Amino acid sequence: MAVDGRNATQNDAKICPKGFYCRQGIRIRCPEGTYGDVEGLSAASCSGWCPAGYFCPFATTDFRPNPCLPGTYAAKGAAVCMTCPASSQSRASVLKTFQVLPQEQVVKPPCTTHRECCFFG
């Protein structure tokens, strides 16, 4: 435990860094599908699940740089984005080509399910 009471590593009583959680002074990477955006975490859930439409590999500190690209999607807690099924397209990639849809019909990435993002055309 660090002097200020936050969770720390054994070596030199350093605060557990972002992207990790610490248990009994041992630094452990945040699991795939989670992120750790603050220091001093002590739970394996870290800061929480990666939101739908984003992917979080091990030790992710911020999910925002990891949106799924057009043609892919991810559910909450995903470590990787999944590719849209064969013979379908991502709505996001179609919207880049056709920007004349009324505002209420515009679907913006990130996509969270293949039913939401990928359609057969």
| Displacement of CA 4 from its chain's centroid (Å) | 30
Distance in angstroms (rounded) separating the CA atoms of residues 36 and 99: 36
Are 55 and 68 contacting, i.e. CB atoms less than 8 angstroms apart?
A: yes
For the chain, which ranges sit under pLDDT 50? 1-3, 93-107, 120-121
Q: What pLDDT score was predicted for residue 70?
A: 79
pLDDT value, residue 80: 95
CB 13 within 8 A of CB 25: no
Q: What is the pLDDT of residue 9?
A: 57
Q: Please give the helix or strand (H or E) that residue 117 lies within, else none.
A: helix 114-117
